[in-house]
């Protein structure tokens, strides 16, 4: 079985891509998603379709993360640096995600806890934004009562 290299990188602020660096046997594959893991899964689905429909050969994959492109952009943690010391990450993780603080810290740093790359999905990012807006509203209400 032939092994090909697949690069996973950040396509833009909200998406990732997984792709082969060069065509092989007339095939070029790609996958996309809002996280690196989603892009990887989409790539595998594309490969399965190419194999089943067009007779793409059996392949194994060597996954390479382009960390320079992934980490070159500001992390969610860096975007929130102005308030991180003033909020309780554990409470936010529990209240708005029903998750642990370590899960949220890893997401904020774009790591998956196993040394890989991970990011918020579009839904999780929206949930974090809405949670922070809810917290801001609650703080305003508390201040108005004084």
Q: What are the residue boundaries of the structural domains of the chain, listed by start?
A: 2-71, 76-144
- For 5-52, what is each residue's pLDDT tens digit? 998 888 776 788 999 877 767 778 899 998 888 999 999 999 999 889
Give the CA radius of gyration of the chain. Answer: 19
Per this entry, what is the length of the chain? 146
Closest C-alpha to 13, from 104, 123, 122, 133: 122
pTM: 0.53
pLDDT score of 85 = 87
- For 66-120, what is each residue's pLDDT tens digit? 766 665 567 888 889 899 888 999 999 999 999 999 999 989 988 877 767 778 8
Q: Are strands 2-12 and 59-65 parallel, antiparallel or unpaired?
A: parallel
What's the CA gap between 124 and 64, in Å, rounded? Answer: 25
Q: Report how far apart the first and last C-alpha atoms of the chain are (Å, whole number).
A: 70
Domain 2-71 class in CATH: alpha beta
């Amino acid at each position: 079985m032939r092994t090909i290299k697949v690069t996973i990188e950040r396509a833009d602020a909200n998406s990732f891509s997984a792709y082969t660096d060069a065509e092989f046997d007339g095939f070029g594959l790609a996958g996309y998603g809002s996280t690196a893991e989603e892009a990887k899964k989409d790539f595998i689905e594309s490969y399965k379709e190419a194999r089943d429909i067009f007779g793409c050969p059996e392949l194994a994959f060597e996954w390479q993360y382009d960390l320079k492109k992934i980490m070159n952009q500001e992390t969610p943690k860096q975007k929130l640096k102005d308030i991180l010391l003033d909020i309780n990450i554990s409470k936010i993780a529990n209240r708005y995600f029903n998750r642990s603080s370590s899960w949220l810290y890893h997401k904020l740093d774009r790591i998956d806890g196993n040394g890989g790359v991970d990011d918020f999905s579009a839904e999780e990012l929206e949930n974090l934004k809405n949670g922070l807006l809810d917290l801001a509203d609650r703080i305003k209400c508390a201040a108005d009562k004084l």
